Amino acid sequence: MINLSVRAMSAMLESKQISVQELCGVYSDRTQAFNADTNALITIHAELNAAELLQAQALLKQGGHPLAGIPLVHKDLFCTHGVKTTCGSNMLAEFVPPYNATVVQKLSDQGMVSIGKANMDEFAMGSSNEHSAFGLVSNPWDLSRVPGGSSGGSAAAVAARMVPIATGTDTGGSIRQPAAFCGITGIKPSYGRVSRYGMVAFASSLDQGGVMAPSADDCGLVLSAMSGHDPLDSTSAQQPQFDWQKPKTPDSKGLKVGVVSAWIEDLQDEGIKQRTLEAIAQLQANGAELVEIDLPHADLAISAYYVLAPAECSSNLSRFDGVRFGHQTEHVTDLESLYRQSRSEGFGQEVQKRIMIGAWALSSGYYDAYYLKAQKVRRLISDDFKQAFSQVDVIACPVSPEVAFKHGDKSEGVSMYQADKFTIPASLAGLPCLSMPIGFTQGLPVGLQLIGNYFAEQSILSLADQYQQQTNFHLQFPEAFA
């Protein structure tokens, strides 16, 4: 039961081999049993939402709703009506939104049943899920290691099969890197594909909601339901609703896959290098044509990102003033001390650091030299991708230069930032991209990143699904959680 695809679970529900309550009960029991090990969830619903159960049952009766009755968890930055939404922060520790995020509403409308809220790096800032006010998350493959971040709780929950589906968000790699570290599939769609309404903002020109699940097919089904233009989000794209079509065969003939050989050759971890080469060879064996491409400005991406994302973060997080919602200090003497002390108590160190970098980059004297300069570098990186996609349909490259590291190994310096060098370029361009599991090294999962052209989610999900028709890495999960 716990390793079935969404389609298989849906078939069982439709044929009444299992009820919605029984299926959700299986996963609720697993969240109760395994959360002490992983700390993947901040909130576990003691009782399932009666309205969601009724909706699932009604849709199953109608038929044709493949997500009806399927349990999921939302990353704890999607606003959930009447359910605490902490963003992994003391600032929002007691925040109970009076409305649902569009993503939450759309998946609920399709009959999905929420069983909890996933842990995360505070305000989605981090690559290890060690920056959460609700404790660090452990990787189910090795509990002494990080699950990646910032959607680390979502990734760990799916990897331990505490839940079959989790939502996540990705600003610079926050779906793809934890998916790779935890051996699952995760897709960040094109910027604008999924509404950001009700998704607590970190960097508004980069943030995008997505899906984490064992397989590309599971991701495709859920992405279809959560995508689409939303009048409540002026940055959501006026595109037709995504409609995932699962390929009937593993034949990828006619597809051109771009490869940046230098990125692979430069990998220091021999195990990751070998798995990456093997996976690309499998894509070729499935019929894809490999084409060498160049992304000459990609090495500037991290530097540009750490100007732009903190700048947007400092602007977005200025809304947390301790007055209207969120944490308010008890040590108030005047209005300014209310602001400063509430923010200093409510935000963790990493968040404060990024707010300060952003405030500096946007300040008089530095705006042109850093913020505007970084926006120009962003254009160069985006143009590199435009050039590449004039030659190829999909780009295949590593997700991370390393496997999941030990807790505390990267708590100082900028090495954690620099490890996002393969995920940030596509984020800056706003392109759809995913991570899929391609094997193991040192007993830990390795992922491959597939990047597509704007709104070409079908092409990257198809290539991943065709790979998964020929391999079984996406079906493997840690024995300790069997």
C-beta separation of 338 from 332 below 8 A: yes
Q: What is the dihedral of CA 476, 425, 350, 186, to 10 degrees?
A: -20
Site for another protein in 341-380 (CB under 8 A): 341, 343-344, 347, 352-353, 355-361, 363, 370, 372-380
* Measured distance CA(231)–CA(383) in Å, rounded: 29
Is residue 315 at the binding interface for another protein, with CB under 8 A as the rule?
no
Determine which residue in the list 15, 62, 234, 268 makes contact with another protein, applying CB under 8 A: 234
Phi, psi of 269 (to 5 degrees): -85, 110
| Candidate segments 144-152, 168-176, 284-292, 409-417, binder of another protein by CB under 8 A | 409-417
Is residue 413 at the binding interface for another protein, with CB under 8 A as the rule?
yes
Q: For this structure, is 114 an active site residue?
A: no
Q: Tell me the closest approach of the beta carbon of residue 172 to another protein, in angstroms.
A: 13
- Partners of 41 in the beta sheet? 118
Is residue 131 at the binding interface for another protein, with CB under 8 A as the rule?
no
- Number of helical (H) and strand (E) elements in the chain, helices listed first: 16, 11
Determine which residue in the list 302, 309, 399, 433 makes contact with another protein, applying CB under 8 A: 302
Q: Distances in Å between the alpha carbon of 360 and those of 225, 238, 320?
A: 40, 35, 18
* Measured distance CA(210)–CA(170) in Å, rounded: 7
Q: Tell me the closest approach of the beta carbon of residue 163 to another protein, in angstroms.
A: 28
Contacts of 410 (CB under 8 A, 6+ apart): 128, 416, 419
* Measured distance CA(160)–CA(349) in Å, rounded: 29
Is residue 300 at the binding interface for another protein, with CB under 8 A as the rule?
yes
Exactly one of 127, 128, 132, 150 is catalytic; name it.
150
Give residue 252's identity as a one-letter amino acid code.
S
Locus of tokens 């339901």: 225
Q: Tell me the closest approach of the beta carbon of residue 320 to another protein, in angstroms.
A: 9
Determine which residue in the list 260, 429, 444, 451 makes contact with another protein, applying CB under 8 A: 429
Site for another protein in 243-282 (CB under 8 A): none
* Measured distance CA(110)–CA(65) in Å, rounded: 7
Q: For this structure, is 227 an active site residue?
A: no
Exactly one of 174, 227, 314, 462 is catalytic; name it.
174
Q: Tell me the closest approach of the beta carbon of residue 353 to another protein, in angstroms.
A: 6
For residues 367 and 406, which CB has a smaller minimum distance to another protein in the complex?
A: 367
Determine which residue in the list 382, 440, 441, 458 makes contact with another protein, applying CB under 8 A: 382
* Nearest Cα residue to 10 out of 164, 185, 228: 164
SS (H, E, C) 376-426: HHHHHHHHHHHHHCCCCCEEEEECCCCCCCECCCCCCCCHHHHCCCCCHHH
Q: Tell me the closest approach of the beta carbon of residue 375 to another protein, in angstroms.
A: 4
Determine which residue in the list 15, 62, 238, 390 makes contact with another protein, applying CB under 8 A: 238
For residues 238 and 472, which CB has a smaller minimum distance to another protein in the complex?
A: 238
Report DSSP state, residue 94: T
Determine which residue in the list 222, 279, 298, 304 makes contact with another protein, applying CB under 8 A: 304
| Candidate segments 50-58, 213-221, 248-256, 319-327, binder of another protein by CB under 8 A | 319-327
* Measured distance CA(396)–CA(422) in Å, rounded: 11
C-beta separation of 86 from 120 below 8 A: no
* Measured distance CA(132)–CA(119) in Å, rounded: 7
Exactly one of 10, 28, 75, 273 is catalytic; name it.
75
Q: Tell me the closest approach of the beta carbon of residue 97 to another protein, in angstroms.
A: 9
* Measured distance CA(73)–CA(249) in Å, rounded: 31
Q: Tell me the closest approach of the beta carbon of residue 309 to another protein, in angstroms.
A: 11
Residue 346 in 3-state DSSP?
A: helix
Q: For this structure, is 174 an active site residue?
A: yes
| Catalytic center residues | 75, 150, 174
> Where do contacts with another protein occur on this chain (CB under 8 A)?
95-96, 98-99, 191-192, 205, 231, 234-235, 237-238, 297, 299-300, 302-304, 306-307, 314, 318, 321-325, 328, 332-341, 343-344, 347, 352-353, 355-361, 363, 370, 372-380, 382, 413-414, 417-418, 429-430
